[in-house]
A and B are shown apart, each in its own frame.
Chain A
Amino acid sequence: MKLAQVGIRRLLQISSALIIAGLLFEIVSLLWFHPLSFVLFAFVAAALIGLGILVYLVSIVLAVSPNPANH
């Protein structure tokens, strides 16, 4: 197993964890009828999900990178 592959898998795990955390916060915000639920969604859930997607996209870029270290 090459080091780059391990790095990409680690990124996938980080991405998954961020997305799961963000989605759980989103569920809480949807079930909680309070003005702060909007804040929870906009500043916590959306940020975590967005960051998770970004990390995943970075992992894709690294995976298809022509750098021989990634192959």
Chain B
Amino acid sequence: MIGILICQITLSIILAAIFLFRPSLTKATAWKIVAFIGLSVLPGLCLIGGMNTHVQRSETTKFCTSCHIMVPYGQSLYIDDANHIPAQHFQNQRVPVDMACYSCHADYTIYGPLNDKIRGLTRIYMQYVSTPLDPAGIRIPGGFQNAQCLHCHAAARSFMENPVHAAMMDSLNSNHVSCLGSGCHDTAHDIANLSHEKFWKPVQ
């Protein structure tokens, strides 16, 4: 996919270079059309393609854990303990492995992806311009929302038939009781104790 986009960009560069060195060509009508394509349509398509590629790339686990601050969070996905919710989801492929972070931390609302990108840019700003955060001190603004769990689990038979879940469905939907902070599923990304954990090594 990136290969096709780079070919398109190269073609666009060649066309733009023609008009950089020979702008007088646009006297002819045919060259006017070529100029319109080369200096407006193609660069516009390159922009859309680039944005699409970057947005898709920013949703991958590899991209998230390429930030220094996220490295311990990536390591926590390999903790060999079924009580660790992110590790359990990652290792058992309950979320797509290559989009593990985004699956649980995406804001599933209409402007959610945009909010996620703005939050990510804020973190980049803090990392390179302002004061870098301590990995253990990172907290999700507003806390982890149940909607991010219920997005997948709410319709699952095993979830719905669980009497504990059924009894507190209203509280879960309204976020009065947190899935993570209520003593039920409260071990997530325990990066403070990473050095004491045993890690799962995937069989290649």
Contacts and interface: CB of A to CB of B under 8 A. Distances in A.
A is bound by B = yes
Interface of A: 9-10, 12-13, 15-17, 19-20, 22-24, 26-27, 29-30, 33-39, 41-42, 45-46, 49-50, 52-53, 56-57, 60
Interface stretch (B61-69, B101-109, B152-160, B180-188): B61-69
Interface size class of B (residues with CB under 8 A): 35 or more
Contacts of A27: 6, 9
B59 to A, nearest CB: 11
B24 interface: yes
A33 B51 contact: no
Interface of B: 2, 5-6, 9, 12-13, 16-17, 19-20, 23-24, 26, 35-36, 39-40, 43-44, 46-47, 50-51, 53-54, 57-58, 62-63, 66-67, 120-121, 124, 128
Contacts of A56: 35, 39-40
B44 A29 contact: no
A25 to B, nearest CB: 10
